[in-house]
């Protein structure tokens, strides 16, 4: 199969990279990545980009999200030609806004060097998981928070203390979907990741109280943040102590940690790249 047939530009025609920053509400998507017969973020975005550029495109994203997970600042990179780099950014942006559905927001367009990858050039990624407690339904947070209706409150201080055990370079196999961990290891790859920060705080968003779990790291395993959340909630409910989280981490066994939290409470918050890597496309 030739490069054109697989949807990529020939290497000699690539002059730079279009990078789109997008947000999306994940409820109606079967995740980011394309799947046959399913509505996905990548599928909708590919249709918009191919219509705007009038050709097949090759795309990479900063981090694939599961079904139901939201994003405030996902980044997608597409190799482009010198002729395409001459297009007026605001007009291309307007076209992509018009071509995408209401649950995807094209937040901005950038130029980057040829060969730039939204995935491999990312330095750190950030997620936030939102939890609402108590018998009253969340109002504005309903679509993007985990409602623990039978839990009056969580011990946020205990959760934050437990979270400290996860900071640094560790093997996070206990917090990875078991089938995904098996595939990673069968390919000879590592389930070790570096977490720069894991913080649990009380917060107020839109006038509503939430418990926020913020996780920042270089890369993430399948279901990693949701598994961390489910584990920390066990501590917050008083079912486990802080040291249990450290033991679960060392076990390298998904069964040793807590349950996987629901998808809808998770939001892909941000991605950071080297300074100057992205230039606004105006």
Domain count of the fold of the chain: 2
Please check whether residues 127 and 265 belong to one and the same domain.
Answer: yes
Q: How confident is the model at residue 8 (pLDDT cuts 50, 70, 90)?
A: confident
d(CA 200, CA 164) in angstroms, rounded, equals 10
Do 48 and 105 have their domain in common?
yes
- Whose structure tokens read 């649950």? 103
| Section 230-235 average pLDDT | 98
Of 92, 120, 148, the residue at which a domain comes to its end is 120
Instruction: Determine the pLDDT at residue 4.
Output: 37
Same-domain status, 127 and 241:
yes
Looking at the fold, whether 108 and 138 belong to one and the same domain comes out as no
| 155 noted as active-site residue | no
* Tokens 């190799």 sit on residue: 79
17 with 112: CB under 8 angstroms? yes
Considering the chain, what percentage of its residues have pLDDT values greater than 70?
98
Structural domain including 32 reads: 13-120
Per-residue model confidence as pLDDT tens digits over 105-116: 999 999 999 999
Residue 195 lies in a domain: yes
Residue 131 and residue 256 in one domain? yes
Task: Give 144-164 pLDDT, tens digit per residue.
Answer: 999 999 999 999 999 999 999
Instruction: Work out the mean pLDDT of the chain and round it to a whole number.
Output: 95
Does residue 279 belong to any structural domain of this protein? no
Catalytic residue among 58, 66, 187, 202: 66
CATH value at residue 17? 3.30.70.580
Assess if residue 212 is contained within a domain. Answer: yes
27 and 42 within one domain? yes
Asked if residue 80 and residue 20 are part of one domain, the reply reads yes
For residues 90 and 203, state if they share a domain: no
pLDDT given for residue 9 in this prediction: 86
- To the question of pTM greater than 0.85 for the whole model, the response is yes
Q: What is the pLDDT of residues 172-187, one digit of tens each?
A: 999 999 999 999 999 9
Q: Are residues 110 and 162 in the same domain?
A: no
Instruction: Give the Cβ contact number of residue 125 at 10 Å.
Output: 23
Question: Does 179 reside within a domain?
Answer: yes
Q: Give the DSSP letter string of the chain.
A: --TTTTT---GGG--EEEEEEEEE-GGGSS-SS--TTS--HHHHHHHHHHHHHTS----EES----TT-EEEEEEEEEEE-HHHHTS-HHHHHHHHHHHS-TTEEEEEEEEE-TT--TTTT--EEEEEEEEEESSSPPSTTGGGSEEETT-S---HHHHHHHHGGG-EEEE-GGGS-HHHHHHHHHTT---EEEEEEEEEEEEEETTEEEEEEEEEES---TTHHHHHHHHHHHHHTTSS-HHHHHHHHHHT-GGGS-PPPPGGGEEEEEEE--TTS-EE--
Residues 142 and 264 in one domain: yes
Task: Report whether 127 belongs to an annotated binding site.
Answer: yes
Same domain? 113 vs 165:
no
> Beta-carbon neighbour count of residue 6 at 10 Å?
9
Q: Which of 120, 135, 170 is the last residue of a domain?
A: 120
Residue that finishes a domain, picked among 120, 140, 166: 120
Residue 171 lies in a domain: yes
């Amino acid at each position: 199969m030739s490069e054109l047939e697989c949807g990529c530009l020939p290497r000699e025609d690539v002059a730079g990279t279009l990078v789109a920053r997008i947000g999306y509400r994940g409820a109606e998507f079967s995740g980011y990545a394309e799947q046959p017969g399913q509505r996905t973020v990548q599928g909708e975005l590919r249709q918009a980009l191919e219509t705007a550029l009038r050709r097949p495109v090759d795309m990479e994203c900063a981090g694939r999200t599961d079904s139901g997970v939201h994003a405030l600042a996902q980044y997608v990179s597409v190799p482009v030609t010198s002729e395409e780099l001459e297009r007026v950014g605001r007009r291309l942006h307007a076209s992509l806004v018009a071509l995408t559905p209401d649950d995807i927001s094209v937040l901005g367009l950038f130029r980057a060097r040829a060969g730039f990858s939204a995935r491999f050039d990312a330095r750190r990624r950030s997620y936030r998981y939102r939890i609402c407690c108590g018998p009253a339904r969340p109002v504005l947070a309903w679509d993007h928070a985990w409602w623990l209706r039978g839990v009056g409150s969580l011990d946020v201080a205990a959760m934050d203390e437990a979270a400290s055990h996860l900071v640094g370079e560790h093997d996070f196999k206990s917090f990875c979907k078991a089938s995904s961990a098996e595939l990673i290891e069968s390919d000879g790859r590592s389930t070790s990741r570096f977490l720069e920060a894991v913080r649990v705080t009380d917060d107020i968003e839109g006038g509503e109280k939430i418990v926020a779990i913020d996780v920042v790291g270089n890369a993430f395993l399948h279901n990693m943040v949701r598994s961390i959340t489910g584990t920390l909630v066990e501590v917050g409910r008083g079912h486990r102590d802080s040291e249990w989280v450290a033991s679960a981490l060392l076990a390298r066994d998904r069964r040793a940690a807590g349950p996987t939290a629901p998808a809808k409470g998770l939001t892909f918050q941000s991605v950071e790249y080297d300074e100057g890597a992205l230039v606004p496309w105006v």
